[in-house]
Amino acid sequence: MLQLLLVYFEPQSSGQTTHVLSLAQGLDKDKYGITVVLPSQLRQSITSFRQTGVSVVPLPMRKIIWKPQSIISLMRLIWGRKFDIIHVHSQEAGLLVRIMARAAGAKVIIYTPQCTNIRQTRWFWIYRSLEKILSYITDKIISVSETDRRRIFRWGIPSSKVVTIKNGIDPKLNRETLDIAGMKQKLDLDEKQPVVMQIGRLSYQKNPQAFVMGASLVINEHHDVKFILVGDGPLMEEVEEYIQELGIQNHVNCLGWQDNAYNLIAVADIITLTSRWEGLPYVLLEAMAWSRPVVTTAVNGCPEVVKHGVTGYLVPYEDTNTWAMYVNKLLEDDKKSKDMGRSGNSRLKADFSLKKMIEQTEEIYDNLTIDLKKS
């Protein structure tokens, strides 16, 4: 049995957690003995990982600079378990853990950054340079989108080191019985009231202010629409103040952090993203699983998920007028909206299945360990 270590960081459970949890659940446990290292503050996620039967090691991790005790604990873990494969997820963990893994004598190091953007664009050249340097101690880089794979290649990292494995989910996740009418009542929604929803951390990357501004434009045309923001983050107070400033507090709700936010898509008619950058966002796949049309910014891997005019609409980021125009279109054409949702569901099953993602990941693991044994 191959010993596999999965390590990731994110400040709040989101796409990284979904991705790594999917691997922990789906990888063949007869082939891999799996250990997961994740931030100790993600308490609910720790429980979810433990329920999969894998070994879980929570550490007090930080975005970039870790406490010495966390570094020592991880180094001891790597030395002691003698892992065959260390698979690091997220840019933050990737910058530090790959160095630690190589220093501790790791046999195979794999890295999935999820996204190739950073907020502080003036430091991007440093980030790009670090990624190029660290590629020399990385056996394989897994990009979740073709757009980012090509970008990594342009940084001077050999194409042979970079492969695309797109995110996938189980399309049957929404088969559990939900009391949708009860959910709507709990959210103070009329049974037939149209709902536009966005799920994501309230951060600069996700640009929730654009969602609020777009909502104000749509409300001018459709007074009965309810807009719902699901998620918490550093911009929560600012977003709530902006809603009050625009006078649309009766139309826009900020629900904050919600467990199983995926299920809330059941009460939505349209799912949106206003992000400045993304990897290949799970929320789009989840909308497709619920057969909901989407309106999303055309950043990074989003155009690889959404077929414009077929499964949803793509708009330039920060173009709230175009965003509002497409939301209005979907609200005004129920048949078009439902057709797009069904098309998205079919596309999900064909191109973004969890089974396909797991099989491709296992193939990378197996090929790299075969090469290791031959040497």
Residue 123 token pair: 């430091």
User: Do 252 and 126 lie in a common domain?
Assistant: no
**What proportions of the chain, in percent to the nearest 5, are helix, strand and coil?**
50, 20, 35
- Cβ neighbours around 19 below 10 Å, total: 25
Q: Which residues contact 344 (CB under 8 A, 6 or more apart)?
A: 287, 288, 291, 292, 293, 294, 306, 311, 312
Which ranges of the chain have pLDDT less than 70? 120, 173-177, 371-375
**pTM exceeds 0.85, yes or no:** yes
- Cβ neighbours around 172 below 10 Å, total: 10
User: Do 217 and 137 lie in a common domain?
Assistant: no
Q: How many domains does the chain have?
A: 2
User: Do 37 and 48 lie in a common domain?
Assistant: yes
E-strand stretches of 90-215: 108-112, 140-143, 162-164, 195-199
User: Do 70 and 134 lie in a common domain?
Assistant: yes
Q: For position 371, what pLDDT does the model report?
A: 62
Residue 294 token pair: 């989407």
User: Do 46 and 136 lie in a common domain?
Assistant: yes
User: Do 119 and 244 lie in a common domain?
Assistant: no
Q: Which residue has the tokens 């949702």?
A: 341
**What's the 3-state SS for 280-322?**
CCHHHHHHHHCCCCEEEECCCCHHHHCCECCCEEEECCCCHHH
Which DSSP category does 136 fall into? Answer: G
User: Do 45 and 100 lie in a common domain?
Assistant: yes
User: Do 234 and 327 lie in a common domain?
Assistant: yes
Note the pLDDT tens digit of each residue in 2-54.
Answer: 999 999 998 888 888 999 999 999 999 999 999 999 999 898 899 999 999 99
Note the pLDDT tens digit of each residue in 131-178.
Answer: 999 999 999 999 999 999 999 999 999 999 999 999 999 887 665 667
User: Do 135 and 239 lie in a common domain?
Assistant: no
User: Do 330 and 282 lie in a common domain?
Assistant: yes
CA angle (264 as vertex; 255, 328 as ends), nearest 5: 85
CATH of the domain at 318: 3.40.50.2000
User: Do 320 and 365 lie in a common domain?
Assistant: no
User: Do 194 and 120 lie in a common domain?
Assistant: no
Answer whether 201's CB lies under 8 Å from 274's CB.
no
Q: Which domain holds residue 218?
A: 171-351
